[in-house]
Each structure stands twice: as C-alpha cells, then as structure tokens.
C-alpha cells in the first residue's frame, strides 16, 4: 500500500494548528505568570511540542509574547470593526455590547493579559496602538459623528463613548473575581450573562438615544 503524502495545504494547516496550540499555551501561562515568569519549557510542554519546535515558529519568548498580544488585539477589536454607518446606532451599539460581553466570558485570560500589558505602559505594543488602533478609532468615530449629525444619537464625544464601552464590557473579564465575590455569579451563568448584557445596553442606550427613539 502506497503511503499517503500530505499535500502542501495539509502541511500548512497542520503547521498553523501547531502554532495556535503554542499561542494558546503561552496565553495561559503568560496570563498567570507574566512574560518573565512563564518559561519556554513550560509553554512547550503545555502545547505538546518540543522546545526546539516552539523556537522554530517563535525564535524568542518576546516574539511569542508579542504574537499572543497581537492576536488578542485583533480578536477584541473585531466587534468595533463590524460597526458601519448603514446600521442604526441602537442596533450597532447593542450588538457591540453583546459580542464584547461574550468575549469577556469566553476569553477572560486574554483580556487580563492585555490589561496587564496596558498597565505596564504597553512597551511591546505602543507603536501598533498608536498606528492601527488610532486609525480604527478615528474611522468609527466618524460613524458616530454621522449618527449624531442625523439626529439618531444624542451629542457625545465619540472617543469617550468608545472608551466607556471598552471599559464597561471588559470589566467583566478583568475583574471577574471581584464580581463573583460580590454577586456569587459569573458570566458562565446564562441568566447572569443575559442580565449583564441587558443592563449595560439599557444604561448606555438610555443616555444616547433621543427620547422619541426609545422603546
């Protein structure tokens, strides 16, 4: 029987899956022990690869850390990228809040690691934040300004609205321990999850929508 030789697409998919396992293991350990405290040996062991194999994909711990942070940034910014001027502000902001709370529930480790990097002054991401993130925020600020100009949204500084949405939704990931200590619940509880979304939506939209547009 002739052995089956993997095709180039198969090899590429297997390689990408291996890289993602390494990033997932790195995220878990970086979020617990930080860049200095997480060792490459421990990351390789958790990912199920050799240290040599890990270094083939990521030549240093710093490069692996940056790759993890870049993936977090991309994932957490996907919901804001989806906002466009064709949507109503109520629909767009409601959907954004729901997706961000889902991310806080499903990717709490990622949020906490990103928060830690920001607290430290974003030494490894500052250039990317000043370039790509700033451009994205300016683009979406123009959408918000368009809603205000049309009268479908009350006047508000777009930047501060975006900061508010970021902070409010990611609070449920970054301070999950505090929330559970007070309420005895987490976002894993379906009822608490929906209550969280509904309350954030009502509070935010209640201060943004003209009275005639409120339900």
pLDDT digits over 33-69, tens only? 988 999 999 999 999 999 999 999 999 999 999 999 9
Q: How confident is the model at residue 5 (pLDDT cuts 50, 70, 90)?
A: low
User: Contact, 174 vs 100, CB < 8 A?
Assistant: no
Q: What is the pLDDT of residue 60?
A: 95
Closest CA to 195 of 61, 62, 105, 126: 105
Which is nearest to 209 in space by CA: 201, 85, 101, 170?
201
Provide the token pair at 9.
């697409």
pLDDT tens, position by position, 130-177: 888 999 999 999 999 999 999 999 999 999 999 999 999 999 999 999
pLDDT score of 213: 47
The DSSP secondary-structure symbol of 130 reads I
- Amino acid 212: pLDDT: 64
Query: Between vectors from CA 101 to CA 150 and to CA 184, what angle results, nearest 5°?
Result: 135
Residue 64 to residue 106: CA distance in whole angstroms: 22
Q: How far apart are CA 15 and CA 5, in angstroms?
A: 15
């Amino acid at each position: 029987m002739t052995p089956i030789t993997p095709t180039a697409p198969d090899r590429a998919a297997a390689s990408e899956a291996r890289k993602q396992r390494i990033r997932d293991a790195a995220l878990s350990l970086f979020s617990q022990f930080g860049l200095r405290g997480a060792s490459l040996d421990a990351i390789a062991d958790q990912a199920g690869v050799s240290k040599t194999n890990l270094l083939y994909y990521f030549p240093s711990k710093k490069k692996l850390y940056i790759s993890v942070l870049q993936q977090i940034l991309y994932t957490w910014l996907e919901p804001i990228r989806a906002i466009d001027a064709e949507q109503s502000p109520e629909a767009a902001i409601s959907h954004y809040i729901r997706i961000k709370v889902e991310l806080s529930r499903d990717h709490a480790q990622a949020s906490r690691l990103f928060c830690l990097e920001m607290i430290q002054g974003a030494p490894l991401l500052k250039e990317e934040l000043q370039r790509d993130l700033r451009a994205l925020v300016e683009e979406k600020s123009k959408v918000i300004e368009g809603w205000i100009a049309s009268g479908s949204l009350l006047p508000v500084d777009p930047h501060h609205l975006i900061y508010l949405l970021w902070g409010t939704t990611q609070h449920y990931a970054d301070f999950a321990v505090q929330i559970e200590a007070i309420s005895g619940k987490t976002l894993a509880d379906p009822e608490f999850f929906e209550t969280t979304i509904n309350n954030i939506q009502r509070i935010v939209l209640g201060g943004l929508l003209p009275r005639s547009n409120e339900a």
